[in-house]
Chain A
């Protein structure tokens, strides 16, 4: 019988613990359980048989840790083959009347994915893929991905399963006592991610007993439209005083507690650590009379980040539009220079301003968008937990970014053109995502609401053909310029209303387009935004720094019953400045100079006063030439602090604060010098070597070098020697700085230096990091050892002078 059909009509029983039983049978500490498939096949087969006899429908092969990190490819083949064979033999031996299936069991790798670990996402996918392919080769009936405590690794495993087989895939995560995965995901976020990618059943295993897992299970039931599975531990383990481990939930209690959750809608159940065939028998008996509850499709439009899900329809959602280089000179420059910090700051500032979602667009004519978009997505999701809207017209860039996104993304965008639908829908189907659909097609944008509605219907039909549900589409009926066409505003508003009412779909608008060519655009934008919201608009791509737009948004939520007790409105209002036009007032306030430093600016930098340094600099720009400010104020101030650091009168945090203040001053000067940038000193390539993921020291060096005018190219951390050599050659950089924190990564530093000597013999190499000293640095072939950031700067200055 077909597994999924059976599961649709019946409760499906999984097996119980394997590890606990193997330990009882003599598995030693540190011994790999998967080897027992070969060394003790009779023990494994007996355990499977006992579970089948106890009522399990699905038994999982003893392959939890069977992967290429622990076995050679040949061993892995043998291990998986033997594991499947043991399970098949058990099916024959048990000869039970109920239908049974064999699942390929896949557990986590035990490695952390980058950026917080060193395991590359694609490497993780490849690792899981190898196990999946062997499972398929040896004839399993389904894939069971379980005990995953990280959303990103779960995604890698599910992707590997989907790309390498057509079998049903069940995915189960391990939640902590706080109801979250160890890396932060909520159940709702996991449901969005896993359903989006097409998992056939999803749920929860391990960690805790059934009662403690109940809140997590209930959240799954509230969100999921696929069968929910539960495979809890037999409570918590403790030593019984005779050198044995016992679990505190007994079979009957376990069965009762799991049954209570079956009655709430769980469709697939078994046990994890500490459970035995007795638990499964008790469960199947206790649940014998239960009729499974039907699975109700939830039809919610939901996206997610690595921590949480965001639903359309609860209240209007704000999508921050600022990560987009169009019309932003400084942003373009930053992207071209590979300066990701600029983009990250834009992300952080928009989060602070209160957006729900960040749009990410890095499209520029002469830029490698494919690489840059993925890089931007990875960097943003490392430090921000807002869901991202991936915004590109390039399907290759879109696919790469969706693949690496740690959640279910918002996809911007598809439209009614055949070419667009053919490119975007397969990606959405594979990776999951909610798609922004623009109501235009080969004939352009229809002038009327009626025409746009017709395109929306066409897009819906085509999406359905791909198996994409209508709630995964959000329509953008396109705000057009009202100054060019008096009817433009009203037609779009009508389209919003009709799409909401007649199609039951959510809508989004890029609001500010409406005011092109008009003065005082904020007034038009915010009024338009208010009307659109009242017509049912679910989301807007907008500028969250616009006070008028934010006022409108918060006022709308308060007025439309979307803000209980007007709490967010009040909080928002309290953050508003007392009266709006006070810009410049603080800048002219005289700063009190309580020091003997040469000038106000030098004092501000010396004391690390970031805002004040920026204010004074803008004021000075009216009186002095920019370069004069740099040479007469900023550099002398930095030098004083640097000497203080070397003489140990200034400490590292103070040196850094001064450097930040100087950087703030430089930023002001840079924006004043838009067309004639300050001539930088020579190029300095900076990287933490392969295998090392620590970069706090390297970032300190970077900040100081930038202050001293070097054109720093920061290659990041865990950088392979070939990349460092390639970039050094490409830029003909005269200086390379390498950092390593671990003794184990110094060999990688040595390899990097050797490669640089060969490929870029002209460059000078300075090294630093906790494990190095001058002798060690000389032994691995570096030109200089810098014990701290200032020494690095001094060396760079000396090399620059000699050029």
Chain B
């Protein structure tokens, strides 16, 4: 079954936002106007916001080169190596919602610098959301004696981006969290992540 939950990641990490925007934190803090613009952008994320994640756990069957997840079969040497001792895979989709896309579009009309920083902030937020979710899952599985592999997304390594299609269907993303897939396989809202994590029980 697919679960939906809302999570509140810790407050934005300024240096990460700056790096995503293409500037070293040292250079940014030494600039006469960037720090105040950054704070202004961060005020958009000042209220702790709850963002949505939907996820499901799927049994994994490995036969030869093929990885069978029940909803789709894929062949990926990278995932075969990563998941070789796993019997289950946790798949999830996370989004910080349309408000970041709207804020960026709004800023584009009057300040591209602001748009750049807000875009970076959105990227930082969705990564923070994924980290929060994965930590929570890691803690939960640790109590059952299981470890989670690093997260792996369609488009990484040899996992084709087109795996987004079965993944979206299996996770029922649009209905659960309002996350949709475009024809180009990009996602809307744009500040979103889909990924999979192998679950390895230590007894295995």
Q: Do A and B come from the same complex?
A: yes
State whether the Cβ of A287 lies closer than 8 Å to any Cβ in chain B. no
Which of B33, B98, B184, B188 is in CB contact (< 8 Å) with A609? B33
A487 at the interface (CB under 8 A from B): no
Contact A653 B28 (CB under 8 A): yes
A237's partner among B3, B105, B181 (CB-CB below 8 A) is B3
CB-based nearest B residue for A384: B106
Contact between B33 and A117, CB atoms less than 8 A apart: no
Q: With A and B bound together, what is the CA distance between A38 and B110 in angstroms?
A: 55
Are the CB atoms of B161 and A341 closer together than 8 Å?
Answer: no
Task: Find the B residue at minimum CB distance from A746.
Answer: B184
Q: Binary interface profile of B, 169-184, with partner A (CB < 8 Å = 1, else 0)?
A: 1100011011011111
A668 beta carbon closer than 8 Å to chain B: no
Please tell me if B31 contacts chain A, counting CB pairs below 8 Å.
yes
B 63-121 contacts with A by CB, 8 A: 70-72, 97-98, 101-102, 104-106, 108-113, 115-117, 119
Contacts A110-B175, A700-B116; is A237 near B1 (CB within 8 Å)? yes
- A339 to B17 Cα, complex, angstroms: 31
Question: A29 near B70 (CB under 8 angstroms)?
Answer: yes
Contact status of A654 and B23, CB under 8 A, knowing A382-B102, A691-B184, A700-B112: yes
- Chain A positions 105 through 118: 1 when the CB is less than 8 Å from some CB of chain B, otherwise 0: 00010111001111
Contact B185 A111 (CB under 8 A): no
Give a binary string over A319-350; 1 marks a CB under 8 Å from any B CB, 0 the rest. 00000000000000000000001001100100
Minimum Cβ distance to chain B for residue A569 (Å): 25
In the complex, the answer to whether B161 meets A744 with C-beta atoms within 8 Å is: yes
Chain B residue numbers with a CB within 8 Å of A345 are 109-110
Q: For A703, what are the chain B residues with a Cβ–Cβ distance below 8 Å?
A: 112
Q: Pick from B37, B70, B119, B180: contact of A112, CB below 8 A.
A: B180
Chain A proximity of B10: nearest CB distance (Å):
21
Beta-carbon contact of A653 and B23 below 8 Å: yes
* Interface residue? A227 (CB, 8 A): no
CA distance A703 to B33 in the complex (A): 19
Q: CA separation between A660 and B28, bound complex, in Å?
A: 17
Interface residues of A in 138-153 (CB under 8 A from B): 147, 149-150
B189 touches A608 (CB 8 A): no
Distance, CA A150 to CA B189, complexed state (A): 12
Alpha-carbon gap, A112 to B174, bound state (A): 9
- Which one of B104, B169, B186 lies within 8 Å of A696 (CB-CB)? B104
CB-defined contacts of A652 to chain B, threshold 8 Å? 21-23, 116
Q: How large is the interface on B (under 10, 10 to 19, 20 to 34, 35 or more residues)?
A: 35 or more
Q: Among B1, B72, B104, B109, which residue has the most Cβ atoms of chain A within 10 A? A: B109
Q: Are A745 and B184 in touch, CB under 8 angstroms?
A: yes
- Complex Cα distance, B58 from A656, in Å, reads 46
Chain A residue contacts of B180, Cβ below 8 A: 110-112, 117
How far, in angstroms, from A652 to B70 measured CA to CA in the complex?
45
B-contact 0/1 string along A132-168, CB 8 Å cutoff: 0000000000000001011000000000000000000
Interface residues in B7-57 (C-beta closer than 8 Å to A): 18, 21-24, 27-28, 31-34, 37
> Among A30, A112, A344, A345, which residue has the most Cβ atoms of chain B within 10 A?
A112
Known contacts A692-B184, A741-B186: does B112 contact A660 (CB below 8 Å)?
yes
Whether A653 contacts B101 in the complex (CB less than 8 A), given A111-B180, A182-B178, comes out as no
Counting chain A residues whose Cβ lies within 8 A of the other chain, the interface size class is 35 or more
Task: From the candidates A116, A651, A657, A660, name the one contacting B188 in the complex (CB within 8 A).
Answer: A116
CB pair A607 B33 closer than 8 Å: yes
Tell whether, in the assembled complex, residue A117 and residue B117 are in contact, meaning their CB atoms are under 8 Å apart: no
A699 touches B112 (CB 8 A): yes
Measured between beta carbons, the chain A residues less than 8 angstroms from B194 are none
Interface string of A194-228 (1 = CB under 8 A from B): 00000000000010000000000000000000000
CB nearest to B117 among chain A residues: A653
B184 with A742: CB separation less than 8 A: yes
Minimal Cβ-Cβ distance residue in B for A603: B32
B109 engages A344 (CB within 8 Å): yes
Minimum C-beta distance from B187 to chain A (A): 9
Residues 150-204 of B contacting A (Cβ, < 8 Å):
155, 161, 166, 168-170, 174-175, 177-178, 180-186, 188-190
Q: Does B132 contact A (CB under 8 A)?
A: no
Those of A698-718 within 8 Å (CB) of chain B:
699-700, 703
User: CA of A223 to CA of B34 in the docked complex: distance in angstroms?
Assistant: 46
A245 an interface residue at 8 Å Cβ cutoff?
yes
B149 on interface, CB distance cutoff 8 Å:
no
Report A164-204 residues with CB < 8 Å from chain B CB.
174, 177, 182-184
- Tell me, yes or no, whether A239 is within 8 Å of chain B by CB: yes
The interface residues of chain A lying within 8 Å CB-to-CB of B98 are 116, 182-184
Residue contact A699 to B115, C-beta cutoff 8 Å: yes
Partner of A653, one of B21, B32, B109, B177: B21
* Given A239-B1, A609-B32, A653-B28: A341 touches B188 (CB 8 Å cut-off): no
Contact mask A717-744 → B, CB, 8 Å, 1/0? 0000000000000000000000001111
Option from A184, A382, A659 in Cβ contact (under 8 Å) with B105? A382
Residues A640-659 near B (CB distance < 8 A) = 651-654, 656-657, 659
Q: Mark A79-117, 1 if CB is under 8 A from B, else 0.
A: 000000000000000000000000000001011100111
Known pairs A115-B105, A382-B105; A654 contacts B27 (CB<8 A): yes
Is residue A582 within 8 Å, beta carbon to beta carbon, of the partner chain?
no
Interchain CA distance A198-B104 in the complex, whole Å: 35
Complex Cα spacing A607 to B9, Å = 34
A383 at the interface (CB under 8 A from B): yes
- Are B183 and A691 in contact, with the CB atoms below 8 A? yes
- Which residues of A, 731-783, contact B by the 8 Å Cβ criterion? 741-745
- Do the beta carbons of A651 and B70 come within 8 Å of each other? no
Q: How far is the CA of A30 from the CA of B69 in the complex (A)?
A: 11
Complex alpha-carbon distance, A127 and B112, angstroms: 36
State whether B28 touches A30 (Cβ < 8 A).
Answer: no
Check B116–A696 contact: CB distance below 8 A: yes
Interface centre among B28, B155, B180, B184 (most CB of A within 10 A): B184
A696 to B122, CA, bound (A): 13
Residues of A within 8 A of B185 (CB): 742, 744
CB neighbours (8 Å) of B72 from chain A are: 30
A309 near B: Cβ within 8 Å?
A: no
A residues 663-694 near B (Cβ < 8 Å) are: 691-694
Q: Smallest CB-CB separation from A237: which chain B residue?
A: B1
Nearest B residue to A652, CB-CB: B22
Q: Which A residues touch B23, using CB under 8 A?
A: 651-654
From the candidates B6, B116, B169, B186, name the one contacting A177 in the complex (CB within 8 A).
Answer: B6
Cα(A660)–Cα(B114), bound, Å: 10
**Which residues does chain A contribute within 8 Å of B174, judged by CB atoms?**
108, 110-111, 149
Highest count of chain A CB atoms <10 Å: which of B97, B98, B175, B178: B175
Chain B residues, CB < 8 A from A110: 168, 174-175, 180-181
- Tell me the bound Cα distance from A659 to B33 in angstroms: 14
Instruction: Give the CA-CA distance A108 to B178 in the complex, in Å.
Output: 11
Question: Is A743 a contact of B161 with CB atoms below 8 Å?
Answer: yes
Q: In the complex, which of the residues A108, A147, A609, A651 has the most CB atoms of chain B within 10 Å of its own CB atom?
A: A651
Question: What 9 A-B pairs come out closest when comparing CB atoms?
Answer: A182-B178, A651-B23, A652-B22, A344-B109, A117-B188, A112-B188, A110-B174, A112-B180, A383-B106
A-B contact pairs, 30 of them (CB 8 A): A30-B169, A30-B170, A108-B175, A110-B180, A111-B181, A112-B188, A112-B189, A115-B105, A116-B98, A117-B180, A182-B97, A206-B175, A344-B110, A383-B109, A607-B31, A608-B33, A608-B34, A651-B22, A651-B27, A653-B18, A653-B34, A654-B31, A657-B31, A693-B184, A693-B188, A695-B108, A696-B115, A700-B116, A703-B112, A744-B183
Q: A245-B1, A651-B28, A653-B18 are in contact. List 16 more A-B contacts (CB 8 A).
A: A30-B166, A116-B98, A116-B101, A150-B178, A174-B175, A348-B109, A607-B32, A607-B33, A651-B24, A657-B37, A657-B113, A699-B108, A700-B116, A703-B112, A743-B155, A744-B161
Residues of A in contact with B (beta carbons under 8 Å apart)? 29-30, 108, 110-112, 115-119, 147, 149-150, 174, 177, 182-184, 206, 237, 239, 245, 341, 344-345, 348, 382-384, 607-609, 651-654, 656-657, 659-660, 691-696, 699-700, 703, 741-745
